[in-house]
């Protein structure tokens, strides 16, 4: 199985890459990233390019499945348009390229509360992106909606630290989840048979 992975330098993407490299049925992982990885492996084919250049690298997306683990925050991106560029424009461009190349399965990490009609900008963008990708009509689409992500980040995120402290008191639906658990859910989906659109909610991760 040949996989394209976007977001491999991020929290979930990095955990996902570890699992893909250990999975015998995965023969190759084409990593599209803005910066090089710190890990090397015979399975990895590295492609360094800006996210807004995805449309110029369509041939790369000829694969059995594409995993999009891209994600940022408005604070880190610096503005709402910059946030859209990472969380909407790039995932959709990757999906369009994958569809044109005949890819059969698109897997996207979205977020709990995604809703195209939400008054919350973050949730609305996530929901709009989900809808746009579903509309492309892949034979199989998997959308994963985690709550706050826990893991070893390079940057400090206060909300995630607070969420981790209060996890035992938070209803299961909203509890923070480990990035490694999200990655495991991605790989399970990759290895299972199926068709159509599947949503994996945070409480099921």
3-class SS of residue 71: coil
The tens digit of pLDDT for each residue in 78-98 reads 999 999 999 999 999 999 999
Instruction: Concatenate the DSSP letters of all residues of 10-33 into one string.
Output: SHHHHHHHHHHHH-TT--EEEEEE
Report the pLDDT averaged over residues 108-112: 97
Contact between 59 and 74 (Cβ < 8 Å): no
| Backbone CA torsion sign across 176, 147, 177, 168 | positive
Contact criterion met (CB below 8 Å) for 175 and 167: yes
SS3 of residue 61 by DSSP: helix
Q: What domains are there in the chain, each with its CATH number?
A: 2-204 (3.40.50.720)
**pLDDT of residue 166 exceeding 50:** no
Nearest to 41 by CA among 64, 6, 8: 8
Stronger pLDDT, 176 or 130, i.e. the higher one: 130
**Per-residue tokens: 23:** 């999975």
Query: Does pLDDT of 158 surpass 70?
Result: no
pLDDT surpasses 80 at 191: yes
Residue burial 92-126, b: 16+ Cβ < 10 Å; e: rest = bbbbbbbbeeebebbbbbbbbbbeeeeeeebbbbb
What are the backbone dihedrals phi and psi of residue 47, each rounded to the nearest 5 degrees, phi first? -130, 110
């Amino acid at each position: 199985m040949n996989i394209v992975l976007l977001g491999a330098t991020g929290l979930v993407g990095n955990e996902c890459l570890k699992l893909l490299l250990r999975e015998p049925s995965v023969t190759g992982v084409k990593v599209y990233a803005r910066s090089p990885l710190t890990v090397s492996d015979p399975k990895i084919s590295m492609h360094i390019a800006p996210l807004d250049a995805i449309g110029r690298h369509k041939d790369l997306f000829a694969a059995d499945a594409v995993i999009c683990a891209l994600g940022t925050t408005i604070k880190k991106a610096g503005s709402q348009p910059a946030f859209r560029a990472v969380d909407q424009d790039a995932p959709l461009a990757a999906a369009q390229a994958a569809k044109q190349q005949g890819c059969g399965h698109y897997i996207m990490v979205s977020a709990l509360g995604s809703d195209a009609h939400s008054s919350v900008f973050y949730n609305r963008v996530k929901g709009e992106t989900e809808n746009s990708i579903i509309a492309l009509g892949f034979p199989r689409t998997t959308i994963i909606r985690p709550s706050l992500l826990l893991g070893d980040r390079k940057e400090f995120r206060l909300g995630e630290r607070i969420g981790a402290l209060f996890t035992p008191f938070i209803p299961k639906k909203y509890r923070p989840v480990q990035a490694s658990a999200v990655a495991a859910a991605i790989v399970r989906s990759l290895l299972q048979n199926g068709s159509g659109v599947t949503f994996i909610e945070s409480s099921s991760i």
